[in-house]
Amino acid sequence: MSLAGDGRSADDRAADRGPAVSDGGPPHVTSSAGRAVLRVLGGRPDETILKWLFRGLLVATAIILGVDLAQMRTADQRAAPLPGAAPAVEPYLPSPRDNVPPHPVLASPEALSAPARFELVSGGRLVLEGAIDAGAAERFAAEIDKRGDYVNTVVLNSPGGSVGDALAISGMIRDHGFSTFVESGGYCASSCPLILAGGIDRTVATDASVGVHRVSAASSRAMSAQDGMDNAQRVSAEIQRTLVEMGVDPHVWMHAMETPKEELFYFSPEQLMTLQLATRLIASNRQ
DSSP string, 150-205: G-SEEEEEB--B-HHHHHHHHHHHHHTT-EEEE-TT-EEETTHHHHHTT-SSEEEE
**pLDDT reading at 138 higher than 50:** yes
Closest CA to 159 of 256, 92, 247: 92
**pLDDT reading at 202 higher than 50:** yes
Sequence-distant (6+) residues with CB within 8 A of 192 are: 132, 156, 158, 159, 160, 166, 210
Instruction: Report how far residue 194's alpha carbon sits from residue 160's, in angstroms, rounded to the nearest whole number.
Output: 9
Report the pLDDT value the prediction gives residue 228, as an integer from 0 to 100.
Answer: 59
Domain extent listing, the chain = 32-74, 87-282
Report the pLDDT value the prediction gives residue 109, as an integer from 0 to 100.
Answer: 79
**pLDDT reading at 16 higher than 70:** no
- Number of helices (H) and strands (E) in the chain: give both, helices first: 10, 9
Instruction: Report how far residue 274's alpha carbon sits from residue 195's, in angstroms, rounded to the nearest whole number.
Output: 18
Report the pLDDT value the prediction gives residue 73, as an integer from 0 to 100.
Answer: 46
Beta pairing, strands 125-129 & 117-121: antiparallel
CA atoms within 13 A on the CB side of 166: 31
Instruction: Report how far residue 107's alpha carbon sits from residue 5's, in angstroms, rounded to the nearest whole number.
Output: 109
For 126-137, what is each residue's pLDDT tens digit?
999 999 999 999
**pLDDT reading at 153 higher than 50:** yes
pLDDT bracket for residue 184 (50, 70, 90): very high
Report the pLDDT value the prediction gives residue 111, as an integer from 0 to 100.
Answer: 84
**pLDDT reading at 193 higher than 80:** yes
**pLDDT reading at 168 higher than 90:** yes
For 239-276, what is each residue's pLDDT tens digit?
999 999 999 999 999 999 898 888 889 999 999 999 99
- We find that the CATH architecture of domain 87-282 is Alpha-Beta Complex (3.90)
Instruction: Report how far residue 21's alpha carbon sits from residue 281's, in angstroms, rounded to the nearest whole number.
Output: 91
For 73-117, what is each residue's pLDDT tens digit?
444 445 555 443 433 334 456 676 665 655 667 777 788 889 999
Report the pLDDT value the prediction gives residue 82, as an integer from 0 to 100.
Answer: 47
Contact call for residues 131 and 161 (beta carbons, < 8 A):
yes
Report the pLDDT value the prediction gives residue 90, as an integer from 0 to 100.
Answer: 40
Instruction: Report how far residue 53's alpha carbon sits from residue 45's, in angstroms, rounded to the nearest whole number.
Output: 12
